Amino acid sequence: MRKLSKQNILLLLCFFLSFGGAYAQGLPDFTALVEENAPAVVNISTISHGKKNFHQFHGPQNIPPLPENNPFSDLFRRYFEDRPGQIPPEESESLGSGFIISTDGYVLTNHHVVDGADEVIVRLNNRKSYEAKVIGSDEGSDIALLKIDAEDLPAVKIGSSKDLKIGAWVLAIGSPFGFDATVTAGIVSAKGRSLPSENYVPYIQTDVAINPGNSGGPLFDLQGKVVGINSQIFSRSGGFMGLSFAVPIELAMHVVEQLREDGHVTRGYLGVLIQDVDRNLAESFGMSRPRGALVARVIKDSPAEKGGLQVGDIILAFNQQQLHDSSQLPPLVGATAVGEEAALEVLRNGEEISLRVRIDKLPAEDDQPQPEKPKAPEATESNKLGLVFSELATEERERLDLSADEGVRIKEVREGPAAAAGVKPGDIVLMVDGEKITGLPQLEKIIRDIPKGKTVALLLLKPQGPVFIALRTPEK
């Protein structure tokens, strides 16, 4: 083995030292950012004269037992064991975070921080406390706007989440578990995340440590500008597990503008029920890859119906914004001004067409008919899909808001491709391979004529609503 000379060893040592120093110098220094912005971050406490539920993503699940001598035992009992889901009906308190967006006392936080509160107290970084007035609160975006009676306050600078790149450093300041002005940092993990039961927020996902009490606090970029509001975590323990979600600041400020002017938020409304396009559905619609939002239902008298959208259309773009999956559409529609005409690119019968739809105001409640189980009418024999069908009674079509000749019920699901795809007895077939189903003879003919080994799309009306599924007919 060749031995290294002292000179070579010295050169290698200098190289590694210089490389390590450059690497260390490449890491961000947050000290100046924190010193400048911490005074604008506030602690928010609320008092409720009754039961108050924890927010669904901040609620504890299966909190592990802690040893009696653990220094955090009292802390966890205070926040979890003594509050299992609901606080006793006496006067109760909760904690959260917020930040000042104007020098005259407007404060931004989460809706779930102040929801149901009888009193809201804002405590500044200098320990001064003020009783806050809730100007407005919006559950759909989880944003609340508060006002305190103070002047010449330190305020944050508003940035843009659109400029954030995956992997960029971000920093959070808040009050986890009541510990004021706690600073945590991490990177942007993803953008445009859609969460369960959240239709109108394209969340910023980060790995910044966020815990109960951080809710409503700001998420900063390296320029010291707010790019998001820390809102939710996914956790099995009630604490941080590397999945944190923030509301983009552009959406939040749009909500703030409406709350200041009107006290409530108005969202755009298209009037469709949509679903994702998976690989099998993409094949059945002749697409080279899955993308877009598949229209499973068009609401009667909605902007979508008036604009010419049809069941089976795949919305590929909304106002020049390409849709990679269906979850991108609701935030885009919701943020569109009422009365504005939106441009849609749609795939219909294998061809791309352009439609223009005038967006309406989202109704307060959307009454949607719920399918009910039938009284077992006459049935057909099983077919190549392993399905047994039965006709729908006239009164049942009326109850389900179907036209006079629309739909055929699935009475039985036998072994075959349909069973494997999740088809259930009681589902109603509304469309097969792009054809609207108007009766048993037509449906049986369509199934007989499907070539062997072909993937076709079925539109089913299930108890939870209409949904497309892809079925591949047997090769033999």
- State the Cα–Cα distance between residues 1 and 423, nearest whole angstrom: 69
**Neighbouring C-beta atoms of residue 423, cutoff 10 Å:** 22
Are 100 and 106 in contact by the 8 Å Cβ rule? The answer is yes
- State the Cα–Cα distance between residues 203 and 189, nearest whole angstrom: 11
Among 48, 112, 180, 302, the one annotated catalytic? 112
**Measured CA angle at 119 (ends 140, 103), to 5 deg:** 75
Cβ contacts of 180 within 8 Å, gap of 6 or more = 43, 123, 125
Side-chain half-sphere CA neighbours of 155 within 13 A: 15
Give the DSSP letter string of 137-148: EETTTTEEEEE-
- State the Cα–Cα distance between residues 389 and 304, nearest whole angstrom: 31
For the chain, give the number of residues: 476
State yes or no: is 215 an active-site residue: yes
H or E element in which residue 354 lies:
strand 351-358
Give the DSSP letter string of 56-94: TTTS--SPPP--TT-TTHHHHIIIIIT-SSB--SSSEEE
Closest to 247 in 3D by CA, of 226, 235, 230 = 230
- State the Cα–Cα distance between residues 95 and 110, nearest whole angstrom: 11
Reported in sequence order, the residue ranges of 194-332 that DSSP labels E, i.e. its strands, are 203-206, 218-220, 225-233, 244-248, 268-269, 272-276, 293-298, 314-318, 321-322
Among 138, 142, 221, 313, the one annotated catalytic? 142
- State the Cα–Cα distance between residues 43 and 64, nearest whole angstrom: 28
292 conformational bin, left if phi > 0, alpha if psi -120 to 50, beta if neither? left
State yes or no: is 112 an active-site residue: yes
**Neighbouring C-beta atoms of residue 393, cutoff 10 Å:** 13
- State the Cα–Cα distance between residues 396 and 288, nearest whole angstrom: 39
State yes or no: is 235 an active-site residue: no
- Residue type (1 letter), 26: G
- Residue type (1 letter), 267: R
Side-chain half-sphere CA neighbours of 93 within 13 A: 10
- Chain centroid to Cα 309, Å, comes to 24
Phi, psi (degrees; rounded to nearest 5) at 26: -75, -15
Among 215, 235, 284, 302, the one annotated catalytic? 215
The catalytic residues are 112, 142, 215
